[in-house]
Amino acid sequence: MKQTEIQAIGANQRIDKFVRKWLNEAPLSFIYRLFRKKDVKVNGHWVPIDYVVKVGDIVMVYITDAQIEEFNQPKPIIPGAFPHQIIYEDDNCLIVNKPKGLLVHGDSSEKRLTLANQVLSYLATKGATFDNGGYMPSPAHRLDRNTSGIVIFGKTLIAQQALEKLFHDRAGIIKSYLALVVGNVLKDGEIDMDLTKNSETNVVKVVKRGTGMRAITQYRIKERFQDFTLLEVIIKTGRTHQIRVHFSAIGHPLVGDRKYGQYDVNRDVLKRFDYEHQFLHAFQVEFGELGEPLASLSNKRFVAPLPSKEHQIIAQLRDSEQRSNPYDTSIED
């Protein structure tokens, strides 16, 4: 059995989140098994998984010395300049532009090279210190590995909780994406379809209304090309793979999406543009009137420029359109 006392920096968070940070290298299945077996106690008593720890609480976890040595590892601090664009930073939050191919959080395939760890390294170079048992700056939301764009980190626990509430309630924040989809989308619209996820395969699919999680995606046309349409997308709910699955379901899958897209189109895109990711970029976030600790974000808008590769693809599509129709014979009234 191992125990630790809750300090001020680690207070006011759920016990499962505290244990996950304390045993930061443990698989989630191991963490949840501890709670199922009632191997986590606070002040000598079993507590539910959503118990909120307080300053002075004594957390006891029934694991071996070998397990604590394996699972309680310091976060890797990578020296050097932060490798990504910082869009905004204050004492409470950090907004960065994530590239494609980088995980926000670690998973079974990669635990070290993640955006979260790179942010911790950046903050450490500025003098911040971290304790696995306390609060560590964390992203308030996620992006898929192969989706680029805006990710917002809470630098304090109270800011993190406020940001998570914004994303959960979808009030006071609007996050917009740019998506290049297959085919000619005729008009602006909204997709309202229930989704369900297979936890074993990590595949999401559309299901009959009332049998899954409701998901709403709004979109408007930014630009049309011969075979593709560039859309601005706003999600009113935050479901896994929501944008990708919704557009696939209406016959306009994302360009380059290897899981929900069209194989023949993706093959041609790879050959034509040397591009093999889904064309999806979280390009903008807008905040409404906010109170503390996020008052500094009130009524502000932040933009993450489209990555150079995606910008190049759009430029090539425009050029191709102009070359196929060099003379504009339309007449405006």
Domains 2-71 and 75-169 share a fold: no
Given CATH 1.10.340.30, say whether it is the number of domain 2-71. no
List the strands of the sheet with 2-5, edge to edge.
Answer: 2-5, 58-61, 40-42, 45-46
Q: Cβ(103)–Cβ(115) under 8 Å?
A: yes
Domain range summary for the chain, segments of one domain joined by +: 2-71, 75-169, 171-324
* CATH class of the domain whose range is 171-324: alpha beta
Indicate the pTM of the whole model: 0.81
CATH number for 75-169 (one of 2.60.40.10, 3.30.2350.10, 3.40.50.2000, 3.90.1150.10): it is 3.30.2350.10
Q: Which of these, 151, 155, 160, lies nearest to 302 by C-alpha position?
A: 151
Terminal CA-CA length for the chain: 81
Length of the chain: 333
- The two beta strands, 213-224 and 203-207, are unpaired
Residue with the two structure tokens 């309680």: 72
What are residue 178's DSSP bridge partners?
A: 232, 281
CA distance 137 to 157: 8
Q: DSSP assignment, residue 77?
A: -
CA distance 298 to 275: 37
CA-based diameter of the chain, in Å?
A: 81
Contacts of 83 (CB under 8 A, 6+ apart): 118
pLDDT at position 329 is: 35
Tokens at 164, concatenated: 């998570």
The full DSSP string for 168-223 is HHT-SEEEEEEEEEES---S-EEEEEEEEEETTTTEEEEE-TTSSEEEEEEEEEEE
Catalytic residue among 16, 57, 144, 257: 144
- Nearest 5°: the CA angle 71, 76, 82 is 150
Residue 295: CB atoms within 10 A of its CB come to 11
Task: Verify whether residue 274 is a known catalytic residue.
Answer: no
- The two beta strands, 85-89 and 93-98, are antiparallel
Q: Cβ(279)–Cβ(312) under 8 Å?
A: no
Per-residue pLDDT of the chain (333 residues; tens, 9 = 90+): 888 888 877 788 889 988 888 887 888 889 989 999 999 999 999 999 999 999 899 999 999 888 888 887 776 666 677 899 999 999 999 999 999 999 997 665 555 689 988 998 899 888 776 665 567 888 999 899 999 999 999 998 889 989 999 998 888 999 999 999 999 999 999 999 999 999 888 899 999 999 999 999 999 999 999 999 999 999 999 899 999 999 999 999 999 999 999 999 999 999 999 999 999 999 999 999 999 999 999 999 999 999 999 999 999 999 987 765 544 433 333
Q: At what angle do helices 308-324 and 263-273 cross, to 10 degrees?
A: 90
